[in-house]
Amino acid sequence: MSVSSRELKILKSNGVLQKQVSLAGYTTWRVGGPAEWLAEPNDPDQIAALLHWAADADLPVRVIGAGSNLLIADAGLPGLTLCLRRLQGSDVNANTGRIRALSGEAIPTLARHAAKQGLQGLEWAVGIPGTVGGAAVMNAGAQGGCIAEHLLSVDVIDLNAEDMAIRRIERDALDYAYRHSALQQKTTVVVAADFQLEPGHDPAELQRRTSGNLSHRTSTQPYKQPSCGSVFRNPEPEKAGRLIEGLGLKGRRIGGAQVSEMHANFIVNTGAARADDIRRLIQLVQQEVANAHGIELHPEVKRLGFESAA
């Protein structure tokens, strides 16, 4: 299947496909250069059409969601950047506890909706600044909970498949672990996900618990400054933030990037940071912790475009 010039014209005219768009506004760090092509589809059929067009044009494809947990190089990204944040919607069954959500649905929105329906299981997720698709890929988690605990399956499009058809992958085939899934190694686009929560709980109590979790996160983490959330995975049984803080690195800066003075496992954009400032500060923190403790900190952050940087 190829995309006709008429279909391509429609995608451009309705704003789904644009050329040379700055990606700084598409990441929570507010940094990053331009996308050669940026697409924001709002239905799965548009995704398939865009992927066929990119394949015909021999363009590399990168997929982003809400832009949290993501660092995009200052030089930008060649090819097609597929942003799925407009692909929103969910179907919540309060009787069975089943939820089906499109990949661009915001995790906090889904958590609040579930709580209102008396479905237990996502109260921890209200402070996660990401989308369903990104959370499924990264196995996002907080406060002892994670996406893998309640995910049943994901629907994906394989970039290497000629038909670009939507296929389902069951949870058992996703090799979930701490901040890891097999989706991180697959050339797939997550279109939707299915979850199983526990029905029959008191909505008021779940909403109280959900609001409490959000209040705790906003009072202990620098939500008023651009960041990506936690930068490093915890090297269990140690905590990355404690190791960094113990070395006196809170407040350390490179350019406009700073190790947060509120929570040491956050790097914030103080207003004029470049992606390379953040990259260098990540490396500095890693080196300091390795020198002091012999521990290698692994970033949770997905980095795009640095392999082509000079």
| SS3 per residue for 42-102 | CCHHHHHHHHHHHHHCCCCEEEECCCCCEEECCCCEEEEEEECCCCCCEEECCCCCEEEEE
Residues annotated as catalytic are: 179, 230, 300
What is the C-alpha separation between 7 and 217, in angstroms, rounded?
A: 44
Question: Locate tokens 């990259």: which residue?
Answer: 279
Of the candidates 78, 223, 63, the one whose C-alpha atom is nearest the C-alpha of residue 134 is 63
What is the C-alpha separation between 245 and 222, in angstroms, rounded?
A: 15
Interaxial angle between packed helices 44-56 and 5-13, expressed in degrees from 0 to 180 and rounded to the nearest 10: 120
Q: What stretch of H or E contains 244?
A: helix 240-246
Contacting residues for 179 by C-beta, under 8 A, at least 6 apart: 138, 139, 140, 141, 233, 300
Of the candidates 35, 25, 31, the one whose C-alpha atom is nearest the C-alpha of residue 256 is 31
Contacting residues for 6 by C-beta, under 8 A, at least 6 apart: none
Amino acid in the structure at residue 70: L
